A and B are shown apart, each in its own frame.
Chain A
Amino acid sequence: MRRHRFPLWTALGAVLVVALVLGSGLLTSSPPTDAQRAAAIESVVRCPTCEDLSVAQSTAPTAVAVRAAVTQQIAEGRSDQQVESYLVERYGSSIVLDPPARGWSLLVWLLPLLGGCAAAVALGVVLFRRRRLSGPDGGRPGPGGPGPDLTPEAAAERRTFLARSLADADAEYLAGDLSDQDYLALRQRDMVRLAALEARTGEAAAVGPAVTQAAVAVDERVPEVGIATAQRAGTAVSTAPGAGARPRLRLRRNTWFLVIGCVCLASALIVAVATFASDRQPGQSATGTFAQTQAQQTEESLAQAATDENQGQVGQAAQLYQSVLHQHPDNEVALAQLGWLEFETGRQGNSASLIADARAKLLRAVRLAPSDYAGHLYLGTLLLQRDGNAAGAVAQYRRFLADGPPAALVGQASPEVRSAFQQAGLPVPAAVAGA
């Protein structure tokens, strides 16, 4: 077992070192692009209006403004440090998510380091002491020391010591100061040590008579003890062989832990390498960070865009929808909403190209999500107002009404819907008739 330990620890260490080197990013040779630099800065700058998010994660208008400023300043050729200090000069050092490494905040950086060192030292001391305790002769070095060049005097001294220890244990047991279990364990230990000592000195024949007598005396008493123990507690006798077998079992289990640990680390390494090799978004670290999934980001962008739209910030909303479509060209919500914004803008500015864009987007939205009411409403309105196509509009409005739209939206849209049905010479549906 002992021989196996060394290569396993070495393997563990090697895996750790490789993981650390890969994780440190030392191997990435090419200088970061402007986008990567911007993303890296944005991920450490706090969003001014939303406390615990970075501007990279937030869609708040202030975060958008900070992102724009970062991109612009990098384009102007400023260094990362200059960009960061530009923000710190305005917002204070709390705009950076990482606490500054000076003053009291330095403790935040130093304490984990000191704690880690202290823990490592403590672990080393514990391991060192344990190794000494369970040395090859199975015990604490006796008087004279258990070195390989055990002198006959030292061996004799140690032998006497063990004999005395055995005799003491006997006396204590008989006096009732030791429990059965402890006595058996003690006796077991000393006998094992004695046997090891004999084996090492190779002088089994020359064992002093006193010691032999003590050992024999003890051996004679064993059945006695066994009976007594069995009478008191049936399990005690079986503890003795169990106790002898346990250390070997323990070693084997350690080895297994080590093997499992190595396997875990190795698989973590494989995952890390795979992550490194695969495409990452700029600024996204390979070890992962607190980041939203793409679906969450899309969701948030859409919600933010809807809010902007309701507040009349059409430009911002359109920008957000476009960014969603850039990542997910088939997102029907973004398609329908952006199509609607383009139609409204195109109608106001009388721009045929914008309206053509809007038409394409709305048609696509309706085709991708036939049961989404918004697309049908927008397309119907476009058909009615732009083409004067009342029949087409009515078909779209029917789908709109059938898809369970919210009452507020029906109320808003009812004049248009009513007029489409009237122009087509059809009876106005009850849902929009009353409004």
Chain B
Amino acid sequence: MSIGTEVDVQAGTVTSPPTPATGRHTARWVAVIALAVCAGLVAVLATRPSAQTVAARSPLVDTHAVAPPIAGATLDGASYRLPRAPGHYVVLNFFASWCIPCQEEGPELVAFQFQHQSTGDASVLSVVFEDTVGDARAYQQKLGVTWPTMADNDGALALAYGVRSDPTSFLISPDGRVVASVTGGATAKGLDQLVARAEASGYGT
């Protein structure tokens, strides 16, 4: 602090004594405002969905978008194309052999496929995501998978569906729209519920 200021402060005491009450009021107001800002911030952050939840929500589902086309080579080297309107529900499952939740949901998917095979109202279609073709094939053989699995070597399918992590599943309606998504391990029961809900919302045939 410069000497000039000190002198002015002193001059203040000589000519007109300063009022300490004003200073205290200012501090109180600053504290109140800071408190209000903090409380507002906490309220906003507490009521909003977390960044992870936001990231996990698929915009394709939010907009009931037409399912991005699925075509390309399967693990067996054959080529496969999902019809624009599949005519039944399709569980599109992105997976990797090394991922534990994928290994947990594997048998569930097999069960789901088996249950719906006779009625033909739903089927499973897998896409390899962040895994090698060899490992994925070995894993599926051990699991007893009968449905087609896309190799997706260049990651184009994962990009088209906005997949961020293994496993992620999408439910495609018979008329070819993305109606639900599951991030993390899916269960046969859970998938049945999703199908039922989509049916109830009028996405059935």
| Shortest Cβ gap from B96 to chain A (Å) | 11
| Shortest Cβ gap from A242 to chain B (Å) | 9
Question: How far is B159's CA from A250's CA once the two chains are assembled, in angstroms?
Answer: 63
Q: Are A243 and B59 in contact (CB under 8 A)?
A: no
Q: Are A90 and B162 in contact (CB under 8 A)?
A: yes
B7 at the interface (CB under 8 A from A): yes
| Shortest Cβ gap from B38 to chain A (Å) | 14
A6 at the interface (CB under 8 A from B): no
B88-144 CB contacts (< 8 Å) to partner A: 130, 132-135
Nearest to A161 among chain B residues (CB) is B15
Q: Are B156 and A69 in contact (CB under 8 A)?
A: yes
User: What 0/1 pattern do residues 1 to 19 of B give for CB contact below 8 A with A?
Assistant: 0111111101100110000
Nearest to A243 among chain B residues (CB) is B3
| Shortest Cβ gap from B146 to chain A (Å) | 24
Chain A residue contacts of B8, Cβ below 8 A = 133, 139-140
Q: Are A247 and B160 in contact (CB under 8 A)?
A: no
Q: Are B4 and A133 in contact (CB under 8 A)?
A: yes
Q: Of A89, A92, A94, which is in contact with the most chain B CB atoms at under 10 Å from its CB?
A: A92
Q: Of B48, B154, B164, which is in contact with the most chain A CB atoms at under 10 Å from its CB?
A: B164
Given A62, A66, A104, A185, which contacts B130 in the complex, CB threshold below 8 Å? A62
Given A66, A94, A182, A246, which contacts B10 in the complex, CB threshold below 8 Å? A182
Question: How far is B54's CA from A311's CA once the two chains are assembled, in angstroms?
Answer: 32
**Contact A313-B132, Cβ < 8 Å, known A185-B6, A246-B2:** yes
A61 at the interface (CB under 8 A from B): yes
Nearest to B131 among chain A residues (CB) is A311
Chain B residue contacts of A428, Cβ below 8 A = none
Given A49, A65, A315, which contacts B164 in the complex, CB threshold below 8 Å? A49
User: What 0/1 pattern do residues 157 to 186 of A give for CB contact below 8 A with B?
Assistant: 000000001001100100000100010011
Q: Are B7 and A186 in contact (CB under 8 A)?
A: yes
Nearest to A171 among chain B residues (CB) is B14
Chain A residues touching B, range: 35 or more
Chain A residue contacts of B65, Cβ below 8 A = 89
Chain A residue contacts of B160, Cβ below 8 A = 90
A82 at the interface (CB under 8 A from B): no
**Contact A186-B59, Cβ < 8 Å, known A49-B130, A90-B162:** no
Q: Are B55 and A169 in contact (CB under 8 A)?
A: no
Number of interface residues of B (CB under 8 A): 40
Given B15, B57, B164, which contacts A165 in the complex, CB threshold below 8 Å? B15
**Contact A186-B14, Cβ < 8 Å, known A65-B155, A68-B154, A89-B59:** yes
Question: How far is B159's CA from A220's CA once the two chains are assembled, in angstroms?
Answer: 92
B173 at the interface (CB under 8 A from A): no
Q: Are A91 and B54 in contact (CB under 8 A)?
A: no
A134 at the interface (CB under 8 A from B): yes
Nearest to A66 among chain B residues (CB) is B159
Given B4, B5, B14, B155, which contacts A168 in the complex, CB threshold below 8 Å? B14
Chain B residue contacts of A64, Cβ below 8 A = 155
| Shortest Cβ gap from B54 to chain A (Å) | 6
Q: Are A133 and B5 in contact (CB under 8 A)?
A: yes
B198 at the interface (CB under 8 A from A): no
Q: Are B158 and A185 in contact (CB under 8 A)?
A: no
Question: How far is B162's CA from A90's CA once the two chains are assembled, in angstroms?
Answer: 5
Q: Are A186 and B11 in contact (CB under 8 A)?
A: yes
User: What 0/1 pattern do residues 187 to 222 of A give for CB contact below 8 A with B?
Assistant: 011000000000000000000000000000000000
Question: How far is B7's CA from A90's CA once the two chains are assembled, in angstroms?
Answer: 67
Q: Are A189 and B7 in contact (CB under 8 A)?
A: yes
A58-81 CB contacts (< 8 Å) to partner B: 61-62, 64-66, 68-69
Question: How far is B44's CA from A64's CA once the two chains are assembled, in angstroms?
Answer: 36
Question: How far is B59's CA from A61's CA once the two chains are assembled, in angstroms?
Answer: 22
Chain B residue contacts of A188, Cβ below 8 A = 7
| Shortest Cβ gap from B50 to chain A (Å) | 11
Q: Are A65 and B159 in contact (CB under 8 A)?
A: yes
Q: Are A165 and B158 in contact (CB under 8 A)?
A: no
A11 at the interface (CB under 8 A from B): no
Q: Are A169 and B14 in contact (CB under 8 A)?
A: yes
B70 at the interface (CB under 8 A from A): no
Chain A residue contacts of B3, Cβ below 8 A = 185, 243, 246-247
**Contact A312-B134, Cβ < 8 Å, known A189-B7, A243-B3:** yes
A426 at the interface (CB under 8 A from B): no
A81-108 CB contacts (< 8 Å) to partner B: 87-92, 94-95, 104
| Shortest Cβ gap from A191 to chain B (Å) | 12
Chain B residue contacts of A48, Cβ below 8 A = 158-159, 162-164
Q: Of A90, A133, A140, which is in contact with the most chain B CB atoms at under 10 Å from its CB?
A: A90
Please list 17 pairs of residues, one from A and one from B, whose beta carbons are closer than 8 Å in the complex, sorted by A's number: A62-B130, A62-B163, A62-B164, A64-B155, A65-B154, A65-B159, A69-B159, A92-B54, A92-B55, A94-B51, A104-B48, A133-B4, A139-B8, A182-B6, A185-B6, A189-B7, A312-B134
New A-B contacts (16) at CB < 8 Å, excluding given A68-B156, A90-B60, A185-B6: A48-B159, A49-B130, A61-B155, A68-B154, A90-B160, A95-B162, A165-B14, A185-B10, A186-B7, A247-B2, A247-B3, A250-B2, A311-B132, A311-B135, A312-B132, A315-B153
- 5 smallest CB-CB distances across A and B, nearest first, come from A65-B155, A90-B162, A91-B162, A312-B132, A189-B7
